[in-house]
């Protein structure tokens, strides 16, 4: 989420600043990267994703919960069509 915000990636809002309370950092992690980002969404993420503005898919994650490391260089994520209703 911060990487997107600091680099002008449109479509990530991050309204709560990574506090796991807004779901405006929703993204779809490419299936090939699921394990490397720590797996699918956590129960806390899924609870928030229930209120996401866009379709929630098995590959949905809250990007603020993905800890970026050099190991994730090349990570492929796609963004939902909207973060707000
Ligand atoms: S920035 Fe709010 S839940 Fe991720």
User: CATH code at 45?
Assistant: 3.10.20.30
Here the tokens at position 39 are 């797996």
77 conformational bin, left if phi > 0, alpha if psi -120 to 50, beta if neither: beta
Does 64 sit in the ligand 1 pocket, CB within 6 Å? yes
This prediction has a pTM of 0.95
Q: Could you read off the pLDDT of 28-80 as tens digits, one per residue?
A: 999 999 999 999 999 999 999 999 999 999 999 999 999 999 999 999 999 99
What is the dihedral angle through the alpha carbons of 36, 55, 5, 13, rounded to the nearest 10 degrees? -140
Residue 85 belongs to some domain of the structure: no
Residue 24 belongs to some domain of the structure: yes
45 CA to centre of ligand 1 in angstroms: 9
How many folded domains does the chain comprise?
A: 1
Domain range for 26? 2-78
Ligand 1: which residue has its CA nearest to atom 3?
20
Residue 84 belongs to some domain of the structure: no
Does 77 sit in the ligand 1 pocket, CB within 6 Å? no
């Amino acid at each position: 989420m911060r990487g997107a915000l600091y680099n002008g990636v449109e479509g990530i809002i991050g309204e709560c600043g990574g506090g796991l309370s807004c779901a405006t950092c929703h993204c779809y992690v490419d299936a090939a990267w699921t394990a490397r980002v720590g797996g699918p969404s956590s129960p806390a993420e899924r609870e928030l994703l229930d209120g996401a503005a866009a379709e929630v898919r098995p590959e949905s994650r809250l990007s603020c919960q993905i800890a970026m490391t050099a190991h994730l260089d090349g990570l492929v994520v796609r963004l939902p069509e909207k973060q707000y209703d």
